[in-house]
Amino acid sequence: MGGISRYVANFKVCKFPNPVYPVNPKYVDQELGGYKFYESISSIPDDPPIDLALIAVPAKITPIMLEELGEKGVSFVHIFSSGFSELDSEFDKTGKKLEEELIKIASKYGIRILGPNCMGVHNPKGKMTFLMAPFMEEGSVGFISQSGGIAVAHGMRSPSLGYYFSKNISLGNQIDLDLIDFLRYFKDDPDTKIIGLYVENLKRDGNKLIPLLKEITATKPVLLWKGGKLQTGHQAVMSHTGGMAGEYKLWQAMARQTGTILVDDLKELTEMVQTCLTYPIPKTLGTAVLSMSGGTAVESTDKVELNGLTMPRISENAYKKINEFIPEVNSNLKNPLEYGGNNSMEATLKTIGLLAEEKQFSSIIMGASPEFIVYRRGNSLDDYLKDLSTALPPGSDKLLMCVTSSMTMSSAGIKLNSQFRSRSLSHGFVAYDSTVAAAKCCFRLWEYGQYLERRN
């Protein structure tokens, strides 16, 4: 039974409210996860009617199963099975022929197919999931992935980053339902505020994708991770989902035309999700950097400017006010602001409040060390989070972006940093693991804002 047993077990764990019918003639009179096995599809009760069937059999017999499901009146089928066009070679198109046979049967009965070669749907509201350890809290992120592994990895990682999904879709080979179908769904889905994509290839004309993305990005950010950018990646795409990848330059041009935000990997995708969930669009590229030492201040400045942001000087008025409670001895208060040994929490919060009044800054990137604050200063993590959540005055449109660091890399310090990151979103800020990540995310969000301004 393999992978299918996980799906069935998840229905029980997630308290799926409707009947579940495992079908396998080998196990008649037995149960799987408390659900009784049936000998055949035709032996399943007709009331209530079946909404969705999940096929997990060898590829060569999937057409037989689909025919039986059509006769049963099933309208939606998720084909978990692999062994189709993704395995074809120049000399053997057996998988493609199987897919064509499935489409003929589906057309005959009016069936819509998800897959084959995919994990299916994670839907917290609907109480169904493909995740190994279900994270069923409802969120506002819609994710569409041509890779089942990436859909699972994102699903398993997101709770530690402070966000959850409205739906998480694994597409597979897209012989019927495809990227465009689910984008259309997410466009109008009130539960989805942000859309993330992992895309390897298109199965339809790209000209249909561009106007659809323009519609979506007018109200919802779309984050795109394009897999298979270079030649070797193209070959990997062909062997993964059975389709050509397309030139990356074309995808870049499409992103510029539609306001789609490009990212390079899963880490960048999750960082941009956090950013879009948390912050307003920055009005300028100006950023202030708060650092605890001179060396890290110089490094942070380089990283900030190399990734598109600018670092204007603070005003003379703000400088004088900050100098009233932070002495210039062992500190540098221009921008970056380097505290040296004068970085008390009280001083940090006062500084942030003054920087929030500076029009030349839209973002404030500050070094944050939960390990130092908790273990050296004796503050609790709860107090630290609360202090940062109220650092900006009410109604401020500034972005307070934290960059975490650990003094010792001890297991306790790493755990503390992880807790800080996972709880940061609920306190109104993002805790990034590098200045590069914070700067990149801020710049990309600013670019999205510029696109919205141009189209209005």
Fold classification of 3-114 is Rossmann fold (3.40.50)
pLDDT along the chain (456 residues), means of 10: 77 93 93 93 95 96 98 97 91 94 98 97 96 86 97 96 97 96 98 97 86 98 91 47 63 96 98 98 96 68 94 93 76 76 80 96 94 82 96 96 81 88 97 96 98 93
Contact 194, 274 (CB under 8 A): no
Report long-range pairs for 14-23 (Cβ below 8 Å, ≥24 apart): 14/127, 14/128, 14/129, 14/134, 14/136, 15/127, 16/127, 16/128, 17/127, 18/48, 18/51, 19/45, 19/48, 21/45, 21/50
CA-nearest of 381, 384, 446, 367 to 419 is 381
- Topology of the domain comprising 120-278: Rossmann fold (3.40.50)
Which class is domain 287-455? alpha beta
Write down the pLDDT at residue 411: 83
Burial class (CB in 10 A: 0-12, 13-18, 19+), 30: exposed
For the whole model, what pTM was predicted? 0.93
Same CATH topology for 3-114 and 287-455: the answer is yes
Structure-token match 């659809």, residue found: 212
Rg from Cα positions in the chain: 26
Residue ranges covered by each domain of the chain: 3-114, 120-278, 287-455
